[in-house]
Structure 1
Amino acid sequence: MGAVRAMGSVPARGRVYVLCTAVAALACLAPAATVRVPWWVVALLAGLYAGCEQITFPRVRPGRGEVSGGTGGDGSRPAGRRVPAGMGTLFPVLLAGAFLLPPSAAALVPLPGALLARVERRPRWLRRIWHAAQLALCTWAASRAHGALGGRAAVASPDFPYALVPAGAAVLAFCAVLTALDGGILALAERVPVRGAWRGLFPRSLAPVAVHGLAGLMMAVLWRSPYGPVAALLVLLPMYVSCWVFAQYHRERAAHQATIRALVQAVDIKDGYTRGHSERVGQASMMIARELGMDDERAEVLRFAGILHDVGKLGVPTRLLRKDGPLTPEERRIIELHPEYGHEMVRGIGFLGEARSAILHHHERLDGSGYPYGLTGAQIPEFARVVAVADAFDAMTSTRSYRRARPVAAALEELERCAGAQFDPVMVGALVRALGRQGWHPAVTADENVPPGVCPPAPPVSSRLESRSHRNGVGGGGA
């Protein structure tokens, strides 16, 4: 899911949206050829912005199972964004350009940096065009709002505190365009539900852009003062330090992703019959989270829960997971300890938060017949109720060596049949609605690709336990 996408993965409507955004940006740039522009200021700010873009943010390569901020329906980032919405690039440089230059000239400032930015995910050219067009439109709108309120004269005076009024209008215009464009790309290219595509984007971007706007205003005032451009550039030093701290946060986040990938790969190696199951459960959990309207942070943690729900299998002897014969009652009790093993393994990983309770309780059932503690109804944590539905859905729609996958419609019917007794009806309904809009493309496990003429091995006991549980409800992807 977090792997680099192929060019064809961006839907046609997303490409059209990016093209329309680029055309709008070109229309905003066109007047620069007919108005008087201080080109040395444009060149200096554009070069400064491009240089800062190259050295401020770490080069983090998306990995398998990675979750990113500003997620789409599959947990991926919006096209062309390398940092979460609102924290962005060095906006003080862009906003200083908006305060110092005519709108068409200000819109030129972000272009070199955006077009030369390092982009890991494909299609790179499309993401660069999107990033450049988006920032050009945001800067143009900010400059228009600033100039309409006499901002450039207020900066040159300087006329305080009135200079804050056009600067504030510029920040609002910048955030409004940024939010509008981000929500559109999420809805059209990332397949986020329309009703949730714009949710929370404006408030999240307003505070950081406002801070960057104050820094940009200080740059503009100093630029017009006797101290000149050199003094204005000194304003960027504390901003650069803050961006460096933000980059450190991204490195820590990448370390979190690496930790999760390592745990998932260890489970896949030990229980090869469910290879890929963890990522798919994470994907389905994310879809439910989006449908329930969870914010990005909780949705991300919930996806972690889905990915790591079976990590406790690392504590179960391999001979039991792969046993060919029937389990003894004692062996079954050992396998049913895997949620507790998993909880102990992740207890000290602070960033998992609510995911830890989901790992412990994802085999509980609403009627109290689940394990390990036989919790009922609302006693079962919300995240665990989500993961239970996602886990069972993927178990039914994935092909294993001992049975074919069920059709998605049949799996959903089974979930609805067991809703209220085994599963939370709210979570089942959320998954049904999400799949109705986005569809599902279930991956198959590695054991399906058996060479012709070779009989597949007998399924492990942990997988047969899943089939047995179908007779009493719905299987949950393993013991």
Structure 2
Amino acid sequence: MRELPVAARVYIGCAALVAALCAAPTVRLGAAAPWTDALALGVLHGLCERIRRCPLTQGPVRHAAGPDAPPGTFPQGWATPVVLAGTFLLPAPLAVLVAVPGALLAPAARPWPAARRLWHTAELALAAWAAAQVFRAVGPAAPAAAPFPELLPPALAAAAAFCGVLTVLGGGVLALAERHPLRTAWRGPAARLPVTHLVHGLTGLMMAVLWHSVYGPPAALLVLLPVHLSCWAFAQYQRERAAHQATVRALVQAVDIKDRYTRGHSERVGRASVLIARELGMAEDRLEVLRFAGILHDVGKLGVPTRVLRKEGPLTPEERRIIELHPEYGHEIVRGIGFLGEARAAILHHHERVDGSGYPYGLMGHQIPECARMVAVADAFDAMTSTRSYRRARPVPVAVAELRRCAGTQFDPRMVRALAAALDKHGWRPEQVTAGEERAADPAPAGSGGVPPVRAHRSGADHGAAR
């Protein structure tokens, strides 16, 4: 197990010390302080955290400060509104104490579980203290007697302070403990947390208003029921999505093992397909399916004999016909996977050409499904810009020029223009390389004259534009 860096230990220790100092004034509050409310909310917070860990309600949402977690996040469940309700109902030192029980009971990932638990307690306590201070500073002098609309602005400001503290502290611990680059350590929480804590802030405010209403604390507990149901539904969605991704990963790994020359190609085609779709303004709910289409476009290679895929010399006409069956093989493999939707059509038709000379069915123009036309362009682009065992990668401008040359015959011109525009905006920085790069220094096969041999057809990665 790797050691927690010294800088991270100091950072966590300092956060814990400051949190303790924030809670220290509770010793001077005396008997007149709302100790009963603080105790009830603290117990409720711990109880919510225990229920969140129940197998029936738990989802695959990563915990704060975990190795892959968004930095600074508190578990996205129904415990957070309880903490925020405490910041609206209690003085800041007591609000700090409300945050402690649930934080201590939260699961702690490895490595460094003790340090993670201490860190989570400290960051949540500091966020609660900051939120309570902001609420008192900008809110009415007597919150319990104020009408609900008057409490909204200070509650939103308090939720923003809560979110801001978690973001700042979480980015720091990721930079020091997990060695995240400083330029990206704060990017994740800054994008993810605001909307979540805005909703949690409103829920916490409703709890606080009902807590002091004629109906009392039991009515406040009812607010948590719809929150819990929505969190449970989201957890189920996350579980299902994780299962979908695991299915896709398993199929891709099987293809990569069988055809080592195009390892990593599928993932890059998925990313390039999404670039095209976003440029064309495709709805977000279709992007994930399109990414799956790009990733699985060559899954049919599982049905092609390995000796044909890995053959070094020219293919015979019979072997070429076998290779050209891989889109149909792929469609049969994924036919029963319902969540793929229109991705199945892209897998079947990604080798069709707009002039009708493609395969397997010789479709023309708009007879070819839109997603298949996107994947065809993405596939050819990555084939040209990736190093293979028989040639070096082409520069991106050269590959784009070749795609434009073949637009209207092999590729849909609209898709080519979209990819070119997306590359101008975002560039192309593939994070993975093909296994063939390890053999890039090998000379081209004898008699090839430097021209890519027929392996291009075998892999399904190199289209006419890449030949």
TM-score range, shorter chain: 0.5 to 0.7
The whole-number CA distance in structure 2 between the counterparts of 1:293 and 1:181 is 33
Whether 1:247 and 2:242 are equivalent positions in the alignment is no
SS at 1:473 equivalent: helix
Whether 1:285 and 2:273 are equivalent positions in the alignment is yes
**Quick one: structure 1 residues 391 and 311, their matched pair in 2 at CA, closer, same or farther if it must change by over 3 Å?**
same
The whole-number CA distance in structure 2 between the counterparts of 1:126 and 1:221 is 33
The whole-number CA distance in structure 1 between the counterparts of 2:160 and 2:281 is 22
Counterpart code for 1:432:
L
Whether 1:317 and 2:318 are equivalent positions in the alignment is no
Whether 1:265 and 2:265 are equivalent positions in the alignment is no
**Quick one: structure 1 residues 414 and 276, their matched pair in 2 at CA, closer, same or farther if it must change by over 3 Å?**
same
Offset, 1:218: 5.1
**Quick one: structure 1 residues 364 and 219, their matched pair in 2 at CA, closer, same or farther if it must change by over 3 Å?**
same
Which residue does the alignment assign to 2:84?
95
Offset, 1:290: 5.1
**Quick one: structure 1 residues 380 and 468, their matched pair in 2 at CA, closer, same or farther if it must change by over 3 Å?**
closer
Whether 1:463 and 2:432 are equivalent positions in the alignment is no
SS at 1:256 equivalent: helix
Offset, 1:235: 5.1
The whole-number CA distance in structure 2 between the counterparts of 1:286 and 1:80 is 29
Whether 1:440 and 2:435 are equivalent positions in the alignment is no
Contact 1:142 1:170 in 2 (8 A): no
**Quick one: structure 1 residues 141 and 473, their matched pair in 2 at CA, closer, same or farther if it must change by over 3 Å?**
same
Question: How does 1:83-232 map onto structure 2 within 5 Å?
Answer: 90-102=79-91, 106=95, 118=108, 140=130, 144=134, 148=138, 150=140, 153=142, 156=144, 162-163=147-148, 166-167=151-152, 170=155, 174=159, 189=184, 205=195, 210=199, 215-217=203-205, 219-224=207-212, 232=220
Which residue does the alignment assign to 1:361?
349
Which residue does the alignment assign to 2:359?
371
The whole-number CA distance in structure 2 between the counterparts of 1:298 and 1:311 is 20
The size of the alignment, in residue pairs, is 422
**Residues 350-400 of structure 1: per-residue CA shift (max 9 Å, x gap):** 222332232223223344443334444454444333322332232223333
**Residues 90-114 of structure 1: per-residue CA shift (max 9 Å, x gap):** 3431332243135686577557756
Contact 1:397 1:442 in 2 (8 A): no
**Residues 273-318 of structure 1: per-residue CA shift (max 9 Å, x gap):** 2222222222333444555565654332222222111112223333
Counterpart code for 2:433:
A
**Quick one: structure 1 residues 348 and 419, their matched pair in 2 at CA, closer, same or farther if it must change by over 3 Å?**
same
Whether 1:57 and 2:19 are equivalent positions in the alignment is no
Which residue does the alignment assign to 1:341?
329
Offset, 1:434: 4.8
Contact 2:255 2:302 in 1 (8 A): yes
**Quick one: structure 1 residues 310 and 463, their matched pair in 2 at CA, closer, same or farther if it must change by over 3 Å?**
same
Offset, 1:259: 1.2
Q: Which one of the candidate residues 417, 429, 449 is aligned to 1:426? A: 417
Q: Which one of the candidate residues 234, 255, 263 is aligned to 1:275? A: 263
The whole-number CA distance in structure 1 between the counterparts of 2:237 and 2:460 is 45
Counterpart code for 2:148:
A
Identity %: 55
Counterpart code for 2:418:
M
The whole-number CA distance in structure 1 between the counterparts of 2:417 and 2:275 is 13
Offset, 1:225: 5.5
Contact 2:262 2:459 in 1 (8 A): no
Which residue does the alignment assign to 2:465?
473
Structure 1: runs of 5 or more not aligned: 1-6, 8-14, 63-75
**Quick one: structure 1 residues 403 and 446, their matched pair in 2 at CA, closer, same or farther if it must change by over 3 Å?**
closer
The whole-number CA distance in structure 2 between the counterparts of 1:101 and 1:345 is 59
Contact 1:321 1:462 in 2 (8 A): no
The whole-number CA distance in structure 1 between the counterparts of 2:117 and 2:374 is 33
**Quick one: structure 1 residues 137 and 61, their matched pair in 2 at CA, closer, same or farther if it must change by over 3 Å?**
closer
The whole-number CA distance in structure 2 between the counterparts of 1:281 and 1:357 is 16
The whole-number CA distance in structure 1 between the counterparts of 2:46 and 2:425 is 40
**Quick one: structure 1 residues 472 and 389, their matched pair in 2 at CA, closer, same or farther if it must change by over 3 Å?**
closer
Which residue does the alignment assign to 2:174?
none
Which residue does the alignment assign to 2:179?
none
Whether 1:387 and 2:375 are equivalent positions in the alignment is yes
Offset, 1:268: 1.8
**Quick one: structure 1 residues 366 and 177, their matched pair in 2 at CA, closer, same or farther if it must change by over 3 Å?**
farther
The whole-number CA distance in structure 2 between the counterparts of 1:469 and 1:149 is 62
The whole-number CA distance in structure 2 between the counterparts of 1:394 and 1:121 is 38
Offset, 1:445: 0.8
Contact 1:320 1:462 in 2 (8 A): no
Offset, 1:119: 5.2
Offset, 1:257: 1.8
**Quick one: structure 1 residues 297 and 335, their matched pair in 2 at CA, closer, same or farther if it must change by over 3 Å?**
same
For the pair shown, the structure with the greater C-alpha radius of gyration is 2
Which residue does the alignment assign to 1:308?
296
Counterpart code for 1:426:
R
Contact 1:98 1:146 in 2 (8 A): no
Contact 2:269 2:294 in 1 (8 A): yes
Contact 1:320 1:461 in 2 (8 A): no
**Quick one: structure 1 residues 114 and 272, their matched pair in 2 at CA, closer, same or farther if it must change by over 3 Å?**
farther
- RMSD (CA atoms): 5.5
**Quick one: structure 1 residues 311 and 467, their matched pair in 2 at CA, closer, same or farther if it must change by over 3 Å?**
closer
The whole-number CA distance in structure 1 between the counterparts of 2:72 and 2:216 is 34
Structure 2: runs of 5 or more not aligned: 172-181
TM-score, reference length from structure 2: 0.66
**Residues 4-36 of structure 1: per-residue CA shift (max 9 Å, x gap):** xxx9xxxxxxx9xxx9xxx99x99998776698
Contact 2:71 2:186 in 1 (8 A): no
Offset, 1:253: 2.1
**Residues 205-263 of structure 1: per-residue CA shift (max 9 Å, x gap):** 47x965x5665345334543687657745654564454334323322222212211221
TM-score, reference length from structure 1: 0.64
